Structure 1
Amino acid sequence: MTNIILGATMKSTQSFRPTLIALAIAVATGQAIAEDTIDTNDLSTLEVKGQTYRNTATKTQLDAEETPQAISIIDGEVLEERGVESLAEAVRYSSGINTELRGGSVTRLDLFNIRGFDNDTVLLDGLPLLYNEWNLQPQIDTAVVDQIEIFKGPTSTLYGEMPPGGMVNIISKSPQEDAANSVEITFGSDNKQQIQFDSTGAISDSVNYRVIGLARQKDGQSTTAEEERILIAPSLDIQLSDSTFLNLNMYYQNDPEMGVYSSLPGQGTVNKNNGSRLSSNAYLGDENWETYEREVLLFGYKLEHEINDTWSFLQNVRFTQAKAKQRNTYGLGLESEIAAYLDSEYGNTYGFDINDSSTYYRNVYSTDESSKGINIDNQLAAIIDIDNVEHNLLFGVDYLKLESDVVYKDSGLNVNYLDPTYATNNSVPNLTKAYFTPLSIDIFNPDNNSLSSTLTTYTFRDGTLEKEQLGFYAQDQMRFDQLVVIAGGRYDYFEGKDLAGTEIDQSQFSGRVGALYELNNGFSPFINFAQSFEPVSGSDRFGNTFKTSTANQVEAGIKFQNADTLASVTAFSIVKSNVLTRDPNGGTYDKVQVGEVTSNGLEVELTKALTEELNATLAYTYQDVEVTKSNDGIQGNTPIWTPEQQVSAWLGYQPKQGSLLGASFGAGLRYVGQMQMDAANSDTVPSYTLVDLSIGYDLAQLSADWQGASVQFSVSNAFDETYYTCYDTSNCWFGADRSFELTGRYEF
């Protein structure tokens, strides 16, 4: 099984080099021709992409391998082989990205660290999923995923506001002309039960449909946790005329339960607490204050019109409605930590016992959130030859708007109460141990049903979060013989408002330029310069509003492609500027915008067919990420969630003859290096190595009566390795325990 997928290519005078799977999508007609130089029978499982598919790195149908910037592609067959359930699991074997940052028990959020920078913005078919940056993030299930593309480095030239490390774009499954239906039933660890169906085909000569549905129920990793999901995703492709094509798509998802969100202290997880550690299913919340309900409705369309033989227009639109309710607890810290802090800051422990490291103090809160928004991306494209140079022109205007109402309630035991000055100035109860004791819990003998569901809470935030972005962009991807040059620029207007009423009104230009040269031996060296930006809210102590935070990247590498190999080696250097840091002449919370973070790294990716039956993938990441400017005492430190090294490898074996014909075997290894536990780099989180396994079998090999039936068994973390992730010393999570699932599939 392979993840080598090629799109439509620019015209070239060099001879065509066949690939393991070559997919050419004609720009004008949208029809596809596929060819496999090893075994053409494999093409029976290859799905032709939708007519409106656009390569993430260029927003065109051009081959990703022609793009002078790093991009990783994971196809649907790979996801099925590995038994992937979430987006976080899907990107495990890619270079430059660290995933599952909140461990194995928190599954409601898609959060990544790419090239040393955190990113919680996920795109679906080229449009950002509108996340309110509180607790309401639309989360796409892998049941509808055809392909995942990880675009590395700054991407603002095409997509506007984005962290500098890169982005993840989900390509959804599209309607097909040929009829195909499937039903899957899955059973697995944690009492997992799931049923899924997928149906596609032609309604008429001009209309194709697809409907995907899923229902899933399972226990979460943590004690008391449960997860439930129901989704339905219908779509239509309509050929309105010879030159006009319309795709209508909808995605509805209801998550009645999505596990826990609370964390655990570093003492008892990463580090021993009185000589002991907690179990990996430990939970310090309360089942009366741990619920999360989410409902998401996405409706959109993609309209493509061929104006003439040169120019075409694409409009991609999506409307979003979502809501979520949650009750949760968060930790204030162990009693010994609170006492040590108070003693060091104020010379008084206020009754807390500095020797008590088993009592953990918590707070309860709730949120009620709803979002509505719209994305629109208008693209005008053309292919023009001028003086032996082919120009692939792209002009675009995109717009997004999000409004999200949030009501946040808290029990009143705010962490700020640990500051006696705050307590006095804000007329809150005196700081005493007794005040916090009702919400305490013993970490080694927890009672997870001790809090009343009717605890009194107070409204701390009740407002509307707003975000609006308008961007104008242009790009020219030029080919002169074997040289490909890309140049693009974009100007964005960004306005926003947070729940405190702080407004943002910023604008920014972002650019990209790069070159790639295709040598006749399959090697293609490339180099690029790219920029990104992120809006920054707030103001300094003089009332001056902050500027956007910007980043510049220089990247160079080499890509290789022949009949059985796809490989790349990439080196990069990213500098992020205008980062907020403490004002050395101001108060505790005053900030100035002089901080800087630098990320330098090397990435290697290889996909190779070793034989007709055996294929391998390899990914390696080295990164040196450092806070290079800061007034917060962390200059020279490494940010959290940024391991220096990561290595992953997957070996797949699919016999073509003999007694094992019809079977498939896969084994993977993932290594994630040591990470810092907190911004102060006061401690480290150990490295870990995990093993994943997969076995599949086509039951038609047993009997012709079983034609279309297959089974797949997959295991994640096969040796049940214990590992951790941390935000700081008070907030850590266990990694995902060993899990398995058995899926029966019937195609008809």
Structure 2
Amino acid sequence: MFNTKITPIAMLVASVLSAPALAEEAAISEKQADEKLTVLGKTYRNTATKTALLPEETPQSISTIDRETLDLRGVNSVSEALRYTPGVHTQLRGGAVNRLDLFNIRGFTNYQNYYDGLQLQYNAWNLQPQIDAFAVEQVEVFKGPTSVLYGAMPPGGMVNLIAKRPTMERATDVSVASGSHNLLEATVDSRGQIGDSNVAYRFLGKATKQDGMADTSKQERYLIAPSIDWHVSDKTLVNLNAYYQNDPHAGIYTTMPAYGTVLDNPNGKLSKNLFTGDENWNKFEREFGLYGFKINHEFNSNWTLLHATRYLDAKALQHNTYNVGLEPTDGRTVYRRAYLTDESSKGWTTDTQINGNFTTGMVEHSLLIGFDWQQLKSEVTYYDGATTSIDIYAPDNNQLNPNEVYDYIKGNPDGYNQVNSYKTTQTGVYIQDQMRIDRLIVMAGARFDQYKSDSVYHLAGDYTDSVDQNNTSYRLGGLYEFDNGISPYINYADSFEPTPGTDKDGNAFEPSTGSQWEGGIKYNSADMSQMLNLAAFHITKEGALTQDPDGAPHHQIQVGESVSKGFEAEGRWWATPNLDLTASYTYQNVEITKDNSGLEGKTPVWVPDQLANLWANYHFFGGSLDGLTLGGGVRYIGETQIDAANSSTVDGYTVADVSVNYGLGRLGSGLESSAVSLAVTNLFDKESYSCYDTLNCWSNDERRVVARLKMGF
């Protein structure tokens, strides 16, 4: 049984989710749904199925955030896009750290995002391609294990970002924005048919610059993303796409101690804008390009081939410090080390799918057969050494000479200096049959993966670590559609993650595996004005590494296990033709169930016990306010553990966000696609924190205001 204390906001969300559905007018019609699929294009495949099966027909939890919602809420990053999604906890490293999209799903941390169905390859250090929310048409969140379709992945789920694609309709949108932290931003989004040809294009461009939330820090980004759709024939589409991004400045990555933030400090409260690093040794320059193509070919009305390939070229240079201790006698002196990482990655990802539709007796089949392959080669140089301390109550962020720091840490014999080379390869073959018997939908799939990696550590003993692991994953689920719009479902799914290393006897570890049982109910009214998804889940992850009690301190054994169980509710309701509401609630109980290092029975860090969200939009039609939409949301993030030992907790918090959007069409012809908007994050400037341990905490977003003018042509 679950033992949980329901918060007031959770009760409010529950009341919205269970409100009687009395909509006067359908907000989403079948025609609009068809138009949405047209926007996403022929190459679109649902994240959960790699087919065009709708989320409400899929026997597993899926949440989607479309472009209209992203715009109405004034979303500026993928992490922000996920804030109102059940089961997802975002910005684990606070509001000042935004150089990566880090979150956990159903209690399991995930660094592996997908972009148009292909993995954004991450080198497990600091070089993670980060797609800007401006370039995204839709965000899809698949809850639970996804290894049957995507290979190595944490068991909590995955996020797939659908790119904006070319359209035959010609339009250009230009926007400028300004706001908090001296924000200056400009974007362009141009698309359309090229002359009278069978080729359509899209060009995205963005430039943004602002001060960071932490003292002395800066953020700067430039991106271009061109793409072309060549309609070779009615049956063949070729897409060429590129995404290039340059981040000369990416804020901070440093932390604050818990004492003075979430725990008492005799010296008082620390500033939420505290920077414990040094402005002369704070650098994160990232540059990456993604270059790919897709081919969609319909052999006939029943069989389709989709192939996608993408190449990654990325590099990043980082100068930073990290905290190694807080002086207990004064509670204000933090000891630091300085470090440098110089990283580069080159990688390929490819996925080939054949989808066939046919009937055997009473059973309609949608058969998917696929092969995917990816390879990543990465080089990492790491230098490290002690540096000066800092007084966190009177911080001097201008102590270090970068040339002196570089010379010292590069030649420091007591540092952790390394020059490493990595090569990883994953090959997968999968099959899935999506079967319909009248109102019953059954989905079954299996996959075989081979994962290989070779790591060479040149300055840490010149040794090589190789991994060669295989895994087979399975998935089975069923959903039944009743006449009244209610569809109960149940599913089982596997996941795996490669585990490098050997035990004290030289035996290679097996992959860490996960499995989920999930049952739920999906409801959609006949006019699509009401939607409700309920899900209960139980995830077990096995094979985590723990210390070997009979070996040396560095020896490990593979006995760790953790369990995540809980339930989620997500709903949308068009209460009137003007008012729409979305709400969600999550309760999760995540626990380490097997461990031999004292953590058994503990909850991992960064895992809130509850999440609750409510968002409302009110649309004005006619009269002097025609074209105005007022939006507002409240989100609650429950308490989390301050460290792995669960020595204390970090309080939960509630944050309010608001937005105002006004279409300029009523002001004159030619302005139908123009608008002004205002988005305010953390309206009441609520102070809150996230912690990994008592030495490493981060301040969450302070109040941020962004005003935008968009002109459409």
For residues 572 and 598 of structure 1, what CA distance do their matches in structure 2 show?
Answer: 10
For residues 648 and 357 of structure 1, what CA distance do their matches in structure 2 show?
Answer: 37
**Which amino acid counterpart does residue 63 of structure 2 have in structure 1?**
S
For residues 511 and 168 of structure 2, what CA distance do their matches in structure 1 show?
Answer: 46
Instruction: Tell me the equivalent position of 2:447.
Output: 490
Instruction: Tell me the equivalent position of 1:530.
Output: 493
Instruction: Tell me the equivalent position of 1:441.
Output: 390
Q: Secondary structure at the match of 2:372?
A: strand
Instruction: Tell me the equivalent position of 2:224.
Output: 232
For residues 534 and 190 of structure 2, what CA distance do their matches in structure 1 show?
Answer: 39
**1:540-555 mapped onto 2 (5 Å cutoff):** 540-555=503-518
Verify the 8 A CA contact 1:271 1:277 in the aligned structure 2.
no
Q: Secondary structure at the match of 1:190?
A: helix
Q: Are 1:61 and 2:52 an aligned pair?
A: yes
1:312-364 Cα distance to aligned partner (Å, 9 max, x none): 1110110000000010000001022xxxxxxxxxxxxxxxxxx2211110000
Q: Secondary structure at the match of 1:303?
A: strand
For residues 624 and 611 of structure 2, what CA distance do their matches in structure 1 show?
Answer: 37
Instruction: Tell me the equivalent position of 2:436.
Output: 479
1:85-111 Cα distance to aligned partner (Å, 9 max, x none): 111000000000000000011000111
For residues 51 and 78 of structure 1, what CA distance do their matches in structure 2 show?
Answer: 22
Instruction: Tell me the equivalent position of 1:270.
Output: 262
Verify the 8 A CA contact 1:247 1:303 in the aligned structure 2.
yes
**1:242-391 mapped onto 2 (5 Å cutoff):** 242-336=234-328, 355-391=329-365
Normalization by structure 1: what TM-score?
0.88
For residues 272 and 555 of structure 1, what CA distance do their matches in structure 2 show?
Answer: 41
Verify the 8 A CA contact 2:671 2:712 in the aligned structure 1.
no
Q: Are 1:84 and 2:41 an aligned pair?
A: no
Verify the 8 A CA contact 2:26 2:577 in the aligned structure 1.
no
**Which amino acid counterpart does residue 501 of structure 2 have in structure 1?**
G
Q: Are 1:511 and 2:474 an aligned pair?
A: yes
Indicate which of 687, 691, 699 corresponds to 1:734: 699
**Which amino acid counterpart does residue 325 of structure 1 have in structure 2?**
L
For residues 557 and 490 of structure 2, what CA distance do their matches in structure 1 show?
Answer: 34
The verdict on how the C-alpha distance between 1:267 and 1:133 changes in structure 2, with shifts beyond 3 A counting, is same
1:205 deviation in Å?
3.7
**Which amino acid counterpart does residue 102 of structure 1 have in structure 2?**
R
**Which amino acid counterpart does residue 291 of structure 1 have in structure 2?**
K
Verify the 8 A CA contact 1:19 1:561 in the aligned structure 2.
no
The verdict on how the C-alpha distance between 1:35 and 1:362 changes in structure 2, with shifts beyond 3 A counting, is closer
Verify the 8 A CA contact 2:513 2:542 in the aligned structure 1.
yes
Instruction: Tell me the equivalent position of 2:619.
Output: 654
Q: Which moved more, 1:180-189 or 1:577-586?
A: 577-586
Verify the 8 A CA contact 1:634 1:679 in the aligned structure 2.
yes
For residues 587 and 593 of structure 1, what CA distance do their matches in structure 2 show?
Answer: 15
Q: Secondary structure at the match of 1:280?
A: coil
Indicate which of 561, 569, 580 corresponds to 1:615: 580
Indicate which of 134, 157, 175 corresponds to 2:166: 175
For residues 596 and 480 of structure 2, what CA distance do their matches in structure 1 show?
Answer: 44
1:547-581 Cα distance to aligned partner (Å, 9 max, x none): 10000100000000012011100000000000111
The alignment's C-alpha RMSD in Å is: 1.5
Q: Are 1:142 and 2:133 an aligned pair?
A: yes
Instruction: Tell me the equivalent position of 1:634.
Output: 599
1:272 deviation in Å?
2.3
**Which amino acid counterpart does residue 601 of structure 2 have in structure 1?**
G
Instruction: Tell me the equivalent position of 2:233.
Output: 241
Indicate which of 177, 180, 185 corresponds to 1:186: 177
Instruction: Tell me the equivalent position of 1:73.
Output: 64
Instruction: Tell me the equivalent position of 1:132.
Output: 123
**Which amino acid counterpart does residue 553 of structure 1 have in structure 2?**
Q
1:32-53 Cα distance to aligned partner (Å, 9 max, x none): x5369xxxxxx7x997112100
For residues 532 and 544 of structure 1, what CA distance do their matches in structure 2 show?
Answer: 22
Q: Secondary structure at the match of 1:185?
A: strand
**Which amino acid counterpart does residue 542 of structure 1 have in structure 2?**
D
1:461 deviation in Å?
1.1
Q: Secondary structure at the match of 2:181?
A: coil
Instruction: Give aligned pairs, total.
Output: 672
1:72 deviation in Å?
0.3
For residues 519 and 323 of structure 1, what CA distance do their matches in structure 2 show?
Answer: 52
For residues 315 and 64 of structure 1, what CA distance do their matches in structure 2 show?
Answer: 22
Instruction: Tell me the equivalent position of 2:143.
Output: 152
1:348-393 Cα distance to aligned partner (Å, 9 max, x none): xxxxxxx221111000010111100000000011000110210000
Verify the 8 A CA contact 1:461 1:499 in the aligned structure 2.
no
Normalization by structure 2: what TM-score?
0.93
Indicate which of 466, 484, 499 corresponds to 2:423: 466
1:384-433 Cα distance to aligned partner (Å, 9 max, x none): 0110210000000000000011111112x3xxxxxxxxxxxxxxxxxxxx
**Which amino acid counterpart does residue 390 of structure 1 have in structure 2?**
E
Instruction: Tell me the equivalent position of 1:51.
Output: 42
Instruction: Tell me the equivalent position of 1:451.
Output: 400
For residues 620 and 332 of structure 2, what CA distance do their matches in structure 1 show?
Answer: 55
For residues 133 and 324 of structure 1, what CA distance do their matches in structure 2 show?
Answer: 13
Indicate which of 94, 101, 106 corresponds to 1:115: 106
1:310 deviation in Å?
2.1
Q: Secondary structure at the match of 2:402?
A: coil
1:635-664 Cα distance to aligned partner (Å, 9 max, x none): 000001111111001000001223321111
Instruction: Tell me the equivalent position of 1:209.
Output: 201
For residues 455 and 309 of structure 2, what CA distance do their matches in structure 1 show?
Answer: 25
1:275 deviation in Å?
4.6
Indicate which of 27, 32, 35 corresponds to 1:34: 32
Q: Secondary structure at the match of 2:444?
A: strand
For residues 697 and 180 of structure 1, what CA distance do their matches in structure 2 show?
Answer: 19
Instruction: Tell me the equivalent position of 1:7.
Output: none
**Which amino acid counterpart does residue 389 of structure 2 have in structure 1?**
S
Verify the 8 A CA contact 1:112 1:118 in the aligned structure 2.
yes
1:71 deviation in Å?
0.5
**Which amino acid counterpart does residue 713 of structure 1 have in structure 2?**
L
1:243 deviation in Å?
2.0
1:306 deviation in Å?
1.3
Q: Which runs of 5+ in 1 are unaligned?
A: 1-17, 24-32, 37-42, 337-354, 414-437
**Which amino acid counterpart does residue 84 of structure 1 have in structure 2?**
V
Q: Are 1:395 and 2:369 an aligned pair?
A: yes
For residues 431 and 153 of structure 2, what CA distance do their matches in structure 1 show?
Answer: 18
1:515-550 Cα distance to aligned partner (Å, 9 max, x none): 000000000000000000000111111111111000
Verify the 8 A CA contact 1:393 1:477 in the aligned structure 2.
yes
1:696 deviation in Å?
1.1
Q: Secondary structure at the match of 1:439?
A: coil
The verdict on how the C-alpha distance between 1:731 and 1:35 changes in structure 2, with shifts beyond 3 A counting, is closer
Verify the 8 A CA contact 2:479 2:490 in the aligned structure 1.
yes
1:145 deviation in Å?
0.4
1:499 deviation in Å?
4.9
For residues 277 and 34 of structure 1, what CA distance do their matches in structure 2 show?
Answer: 52
Instruction: Tell me the equivalent position of 1:350.
Output: none
For residues 60 and 20 of structure 1, what CA distance do their matches in structure 2 show?
Answer: 25
For residues 201 and 68 of structure 1, what CA distance do their matches in structure 2 show?
Answer: 37
**Which amino acid counterpart does residue 615 of structure 2 have in structure 1?**
W
1:140-188 Cα distance to aligned partner (Å, 9 max, x none): 0011100000000000000000000000000011101111110000001
1:25-80 Cα distance to aligned partner (Å, 9 max, x none): xxxxxxxx5369xxxxxx7x997112100000100112111110000000011111
